[in-house]
Amino acid sequence: MKPDSRGLAVTTDSDQAIAALNRFTDAAVSLKPGMAEITAAARREPECAMLQICAAVLHALSQSNLEARRGVRYLDLARQRRADLNEREQNFINAVAAGCDGDFDRAIGVYQRIVERWPRDILAAKLAEFHCFQSGDAGRQLQIMENLAGANGDSPHALAMYAFALELNGRRENAEQTSRAALRLDPDSMWAQHCLAHVYGEQGRVSEGIAALEDYAPRWKTFGQYIQSHNWFHLASLYLMQLDFDRALDAYRNHIWGFQSDEVVEHTDAILLLWYVELAGGKVQERWSEIAPHIRAKAHEQVFPFLTTIYLYALERAGQSAEVDSALAEMEEYARSQTGRAAYVWNEIGLKQARGSVAFARADFDQAAALLGGALGDIACAGGSDEQRAVFAQSHFLSLSRAGLTQQAQQALHDYLAGRSSTALSRRWRAEIGG
């Protein structure tokens, strides 16, 4: 038994195994490259269960059912040594197994218990954060991160994770203060910068946000491609609030699309940015068609409703209606097979979200307005962050307007803009909708 860099006991006698686990945890929470190296370490030292567990984590994070199932073989190796493992490691097996199975609520619950019992376990908190994104459970995310931050006030990454949980719960002043505390500890804390990007966007602080993110951007290149592209997505979203389509699409071409074109994280940023460009009144031309070949298979997986929905929307905008109808039928069949909370999420929210988004892409604005309006009240449970889910609110009030339901559109726009500063984009929408 040896301690890792957080002082947590690991069942191994290998210094090399501990070093590999430390590198994996550091890469996971700092968002720097290096997580994938854990697979080679797991092969070199099959007797270390935590190495096998962390190799399985890579698959649980894939946002692909097919890929997640490939992680089970690492968990099976870890289970062979279960009798020798400590309580935390045994809990980790259960949590990662739940994530690979797509049972995000169960995974979050186990990770929450780990953080409560071992509050220095920042990796468990980071994995819980990821599954909270998939399930939209911002309330439980905040509980976990409050516990984490209380025991890790010296960690910029723990503070940044706490800040983001505050932001997702609408406590944006606290989120900003906590992000800045993290940045005082480490000016290059990417997750703290990311949290600030959310605050700037949600409050409509466009000029301030652009200046801050453009100042940070030159240093993003040393981090993983995912967070580079994602923070550029947030910067591009701020450009759109100024109706600066040229800079937004320049960010798409040079920083967001074309680096890991078969990775879900890149799909998400690219699809959402193009959708936002069109909602703002811009043109994206052939770009939907360049994305489509990379996402076609993913549209037939049911990981969480937000993800399926944006794939269906992108394929429809690329003109692949038959593919969309096929994938939507599969989504409906999957939804009917669910029970308990999942049945509600997929049937009452996910399907309305997906059908409404496809209707919007097909310019069937009456149908889009009705379906999206029926989903918006609890749309967080279908996954995604607040800024990502805004495409559905924006598509909803524009659908109402284009369906001729002007008064309802004006109210929906008013509700959406409440608490945000006026921007060139919000003024364009007011001019289109009236009020």
d(CA 241, CA 245): 9
Q: What is the pLDDT of residue 118?
A: 98
Q: Which of 136, 151, 168 is the last residue of a domain?
A: 136
Nearest CA among 228, 172, 181 for reference residue 203: 172
What Cα–Cα distance (Å) separates residue 322 from each residue in 114, 316, 327, 353? 45, 9, 9, 19
d(CA 23, CA 34): 7
d(CA 382, CA 342): 10
Q: Which of 80, 102, 136 is the last residue of a domain?
A: 136
Q: What is the pLDDT of residue 285?
A: 82
Nearest CA among 323, 408, 398 for reference residue 363: 398
- φ/ψ of 420, rounded to 5, equals -105, 145
Written as tens digits, the pLDDT of the chain (435 aa) is 899 999 999 999 999 999 999 999 999 999 999 999 999 999 999 999 999 999 999 999 999 999 999 999 999 999 999 999 999 999 999 999 999 999 999 999 999 999 999 999 999 999 999 999 999 999 999 999 999 999 999 999 999 999 999 999 999 999 999 999 999 999 999 999 999 999 999 999 999 999 999 999 999 999 999 999 999 999 999 999 999 999 999 999 999 999 999 999 999 999 999 999 999 999 998 999 999 999 999 999 999 999 999 999 999 999 999 999 999 999 999 999 999 999 999 999 999 999 999 999 999 999 999 999 999 999 999 999 999 999 999 999 999 999 999 999 999 999 999 988 999 999 999 999 976
Q: Is residue 157 part of a domain?
A: no
In sign, the C-alpha dihedral spanning 280, 385, 224, 43 is: negative
Q: Is residue 165 part of a domain?
A: no
Q: Is residue 190 part of a domain?
A: no
Nearest CA among 266, 231, 239 for reference residue 31: 231
Spatial CB neighbours of 204, under 8 Å, sequence gap ≥ 6: 241, 420, 421, 422, 423, 426
Q: Which of 136, 165, 192 is the last residue of a domain?
A: 136
- Residue 246: how many other CB atoms lie within 10 Å: 9
CATH number at residue 406: 1.25.40
Q: Is residue 227 part of a domain?
A: no
Count of structural domains, the chain = 2
Q: Is residue 370 part of a domain?
A: yes
Own/partner pairs, 125-129, CB within 8 angstroms, 24+ separation: 125/158, 125/161, 126/28, 126/29, 126/157, 126/161, 127/28, 127/57, 127/60, 127/61, 127/95, 127/96, 127/99, 129/161, 129/164, 129/165
Q: Is residue 76 part of a domain?
A: yes
Which residues partner with 3 through β-bridges? Answer: 9
Q: Is residue 404 part of a domain?
A: yes
Exposure letters 126-143 (e unless 16+ CB within 10 A, then b)? bbbbbbbbbbbbbebbbb
Spatial CB neighbours of 136, under 8 Å, sequence gap ≥ 6: 306, 379, 380, 381, 382, 383, 384
Domain that holds residue 5: 1-136
Q: Is residue 355 part of a domain?
A: yes
State the first-to-last Cα distance of the chain, in angstroms, to the nearest integer: 67
Q: What is the pLDDT of residue 435?
A: 62
d(CA 250, CA 217): 14
